Amino acid sequence: MVYLRSLKVPRGYAAAFMVAGPYARSGCCSRGACVHRRTTVRGCETSSAPLAPRVAVSSVVWQLPEAAAQAFQERNWQDCASILVETPVQTAQCLLVQRTKEPAANLWSFPGGSLHFGESVLDGIARELFEETGLARSDVMLGSEYEVYEYIAREWHYIILTAVGLARHGVEPVAGDDARRACWVPLRDLMNPNFPSTTRCLETARKLWDRLRVHSTSARHS
């Protein structure tokens, strides 16, 4: 099941969930208006296709405790999640990268990036995870449920699909691509108001942790 939060998609952006449009970097993405990118060819100004939101993917990956090693080897998502949520939430560790590019350069956020044309969401999440942290698909189990977020700033408009991941105990990330650093961060550090993370980083981590806990508890009692 895919969880979709109700989004008010601006007029002119109807195809946002199907096609990843160009970066909105040549003007403000006005809500309710169709914005065009203007270019100059041999002294004549022309107007190209309307700008559209860019579709991006990310993942909130939790490091499993050593007790889940056997369940991970068996690729048993339910057992891994049940063992993980027994960890005190403050000490649960999620994978973060320090960004080098805008938007949110130098801030900590979840691994992710733009979805490529013709690429499935899970393939895009796995690719970005590997490029930015070195974690391969053999190191992580990715859930099939997505949270959908919308990020709008003056020059940026993203529709972001975020999945939960469970990483095997002991795997260490190595920063790559446009990530300056990559490491496991206890949730208690994210709770520090001075921690330099992106907007909604803590909110997203807590929300997906709570959802993982609720689903695991429901499965145990079903």
Are 123 and 182 within one domain?
yes
Residue 2 lies in a domain: no
Same-domain status, 27 and 113: no
Asked if 207 and 185 touch (Cβ cutoff 8 Å), the reply is no
Residue 208: which CATH number? 3.90.79.10
Label residues 130-148 b or e (16+ Cβ within 10 Å = b).
bebbbbeeebbbbbeebbe
pTM: 0.74
**Distance between terminal CA atoms of the chain?**
18
For residue 14, tell me if it sits in a domain: no
Q: Which residue has the tokens 């956020």?
A: 109
What pLDDT digit, counting tens, does each position of 84-99 carry? 999 888 889 999 999 8
Which position has the token pair 């689903």? 215
Whether residue 16 has pLDDT greater than 60: no
Q: Are residues 129 and 44 located together in one domain of the fold?
A: no
How many domains is the chain partitioned into structurally? Answer: 2
Whether 69 is in a domain gets the answer yes
- Convert the pLDDT of each residue in 176-218 to its tens digit: 878 889 999 999 998 888 888 887 888 889 889 998 988 887 7
Residues 108 and 66 in one domain: yes
